[in-house]
Structure 1
Amino acid sequence: MNSKKLALIQTAMKLFYRKGIHAVGINEVLKVSGIAKKTLYHHFSSKDDLILACLHYREQLFIDWFKQQLDAVPAGKAAILAIFDALDSWFNNRSPAMGEFNGCFFINASAEYGREDSLIYAACQQHKSHVRAIIKPHVDAFEADENKSNQLTDSLCLLKEGAITTAKVQAKLSAARDIKPLAASLINHPLRQANI
């Protein structure tokens, strides 16, 4: 990727994540990046195009980080619990790759672009599906019943999303630690989980 294009994406990503997408104009991105407007429009046809590039950039950053956290422990139940340890590190700014915590960029972006026909909204949905697809094989490692595996995966994703939202909206940075025992209960008692 062109270095100026990458600089624009990284600058915009930081600004959008910290301040919100609608709160940041193109001129602010240009000022902070030190890159000319002509160069920006050479790489991006619109602000929405830049936002999509930021979403793809953050997606790759998050997915690489998330996989690394799960790959550091044995597959299955240990990896499921590692999700909440990883989130705790992120919330408390102990994961340099993720930068300073300000909620989920994809939740934030989808809230600002709530139209279901928006490419931005679709990119946010795709990210959540991708994260679920990473979690699912770890559930499959100990739950052979496909229906129960799907239900448990969905429940774990809800716990993950709830922890992220609670950490951001309520500034409860212990949210992932607090919910981890419930995740452990779900994975250790899957038959009970099916009745939720």
Structure 2
Amino acid sequence: MSAKRQQLILNAFALFYEKGVHAVGINEVLAVSGIAKKTLYTHFASKEELVCAVLEYRNAAYLRWLEQRLDAANEGVAKVDALFDALDDWFHDREEVLFPFHGCFFMNVSGEYGDPECAIHQQCAKHKVDVEAIVLRAVKTLDLSEQACAELAAMLCLLKDGAISKARVQGDKTAAASAKKVARQLV
């Protein structure tokens, strides 16, 4: 990937994550990036293509971070705890790789692109599937049946997304710790 393309993606992500996709124009991305409009259109035919590239970037970064956090934990309940401890660090801006917390980028963007047939919305939905797969791998270290693991992973993802929403919308930075208590009861 070219350095200018990567620079555009990173700067666009930072702006989109803080302000929202529709609130940020291409000219603002260019100004922050210090890149000419012609260069932007060399890499991206439209703003939507840039948004898709930003979603790919964030998905990869977030999944890598989450896998590392869960892989570092011991098996079993420790992995469930690690999920919510990771969220707590993110909510309190202790995870530099994720940028200052502004909620779930994929929830935010899917709210701006609500048509389920839209490629951008579909990328947001795929992210949630990818995250649940990582959580499921962690849950499989518990001594549970396949069906129980799948059900628990789905419930933990609901708790995770609820905690993210509560932290963002209501400013409750303790939401991950509260969700961790509920997760412990589920396990």
Q: TM over 0.5: same fold?
A: yes
Q: Which residue of 2 aligns with 1:32?
A: 32
Aligned to 1:155: 155
Residue number in structure 2 paired with 1:91: 91
Please say which of residues 73-82 and 129-138 is displaced more in the overlay: 73-82
Do the aligned residues in 2 keep the contact of 1:21 with 1:112 (CA within 8 Å)? yes
CA distance in 2, matches of 1:34, 1:137: 42
Counterpart in the other structure of 1:57: 57
8 Å contact from structure 2 (residues 139, 153) kept in 1: yes
C-alpha distance in 2 between matches for 1:144 and 1:154: 14
Q: 1:25, CA displacement in angstroms?
A: 0.5
Partner-residue secondary structure (3-state), 1:35:
coil
Could you tell me which runs of 5 or more consecutive residues in structure 2 were left unpaired when the two chains were aligned. none
Deviates more, 1:54-63 or 1:141-150: 141-150
RMSD of aligned Cα (Å): 0.9
SS at match of 2:93: coil
Shift of 1:144: 3.4
- The answer as to 2:181 corresponding to 1:181 is yes
Check whether the contact 2:113–2:120 (CA below 8 A) recurs between aligned residues.
yes
State whether residues 77 and 138 of structure 1, in contact with CA within 8 Å, keep that contact through their aligned partners in structure 2.
Answer: no
Q: Partners in 1 of 2:69 and 2:146 — Cα distance?
A: 25
- What is the TM-score of this pair, normalised by structure 1? 0.93
Aligned to 2:20: 20
User: Equivalent pairs: percent with the same residue?
Assistant: 48
Pairing of 1:99-114 with structure 2 (within 5 A): 99-114=99-114
Runs of 4+ in 1 over 6 A off after TM superposition: none
* Structure 2 Cα separation of the partners of residues 73 and 12 of structure 1: 33
Instruction: For residue 141 of structure 1, report the CA deviation from its aligned partner.
Output: 1.9
Q: Normalization by structure 2: what TM-score?
A: 0.97
3-state SS of 2:102 partner: coil
Q: Size of the alignment, in residue pairs?
A: 187
